[in-house]
Amino acid sequence: MPIILTQYEFPEEQVRQIREIAPDYELKSVPIKEVTPEQIREADILVGWNRKMEQAALESDNLKWVQAWSAGVDYFPMDRFAEKNVQLTNAGGVHAIPISEHIFAVLLAMSRNLHGNIRSQARGKWEKSGSYGEISGLTMVIVGTGHIGRATARLAKAFGMRTVGVRHSGRPEEHIDEMYTTDGIREAFAQGDVIVNILPLTDETRHFFDRESFGYMKKGARFVNVGRGQSVDTEALIEALETGILSGAALDVFEQEPLPEDHPLWTREDVVITPHVAGNTDHYDARAADIFLDNLRAFVQGETLPRNLVDYSKKY
C-alpha cells in the first residue's frame, strides 16, 4: 500500500477527506523529531520537509511528490528531485493575506512615526518630534507580483496609492497601474516612494538589490523587504540609508538570521525590524492543507498537480 507521510498532524475532518480522496493510501503522521530514515524511504508522498530528511528522501525509490509546508523552496534539492522525477509543490498563496497586511502595518508605522512613538514610550518620554506623512497619493513599486504582490497591490489601491510592478515576464496584473520586466528597474524604481521586495531566492535574484539597484531609487524612498534576505546586499542597503537614498526601511528577512546582536541595523532609528514573522498567521495550516487536498485529488487520478507545482528550471 502506498504511503503518505506527514509531519503535519491533520485534524480529524481533513484526515477523513484524505482517506476519501486516496482510499488506497496509508496515512502516517510522524513528528519530524521522531521520523526515521526508513519511514522517509518508504513514503510515496511527503507532506512537510526538514533538511534532515534530504538524504533519505534522495535515496528513496518510492518518493514521487513532496508537498512543502512553506512558500519558499530555495532550500530543496531541486536538481536531484528533477533527476528522480519527484514533483514538488509549495504553500504559495498561504501568505498573501498576512504578508500584505504586514507590509501596510510597517509602512503605516513609518509614515505616521509609530516606530518613533513606541521608542519614546519605552523611554517614558512625551515626544512629538519626527515626520508624520500620508501614504495616499504615493507610488508603490512591487518587485515580485505573485500571490503576495497581487494582494499588496489591491490594498495599495484601497489606500489611494499608484502601483508599479516588476516581474520577470512583464505580464500585466490586476491592480498594477504599470508593469515592467526586471530589465526595466531603473525606470520603475525612479518612480517609487515605496519599494517592496517580495522576490523568491534564485540564482538571478541573489543580491538583486545591490548598490546599483538602490542607486536607481528616488531619493528619500522607503524600502520594505518581506522576500528573501539574500536578495538584498546588506552593506549596500546600509549605505543607501546613510546617504539618504532611502529615508527608511522595514526589514523582516536578512542575509544572516537571526540578525546578530551587534549588527548596526538594530540601532538605526530609520529601520523597523521584525524577526521573519510577516507570514505568520493563525490560518496557516488550514490554508496549506487545502492546497495539499486539491493536489492530492489530482495526484491519485494521475493528473497534473494544479496548485503551486514548482518549475525546476526557474527554481520556484
Residues marked as catalytic: 228, 257, 276
Question: At a CB cut-off of 8 Å and minimum separation 6, what does 7 contact?
Answer: 29, 30, 31, 32, 35, 47, 48, 49, 50, 69
Residue 241's H or E segment, with its range, is helix 234-242
DSSP-derived secondary structure letter, 253: -
Please state whether 315 falls in left (phi above 0), alpha (psi between -120 and 50) or beta: left
In one-letter notation, the amino acid at residue 265 is L
Contact 90, 65 (CB under 8 A): no
Reduced to 3 states (helix: H, G, I; strand: E, B; else coil), residue 292 is helix
- DSSP lists the bridge partners of residue 179 as 165
Cis peptide before 258 (omega within 30 of 0): yes
138: which 3 cell numbers?
A: 504615493
Distance (Å, rounded) from C-alpha 5 to C-alpha 26?
Answer: 8
Q: Which burial class, exposed, middle or buried, applies to 63 when counting CB atoms under 10 A from its CB (0-12, 13-18, 19+)? A: buried
Distance (Å, rounded) from C-alpha 50 to C-alpha 53?
Answer: 5
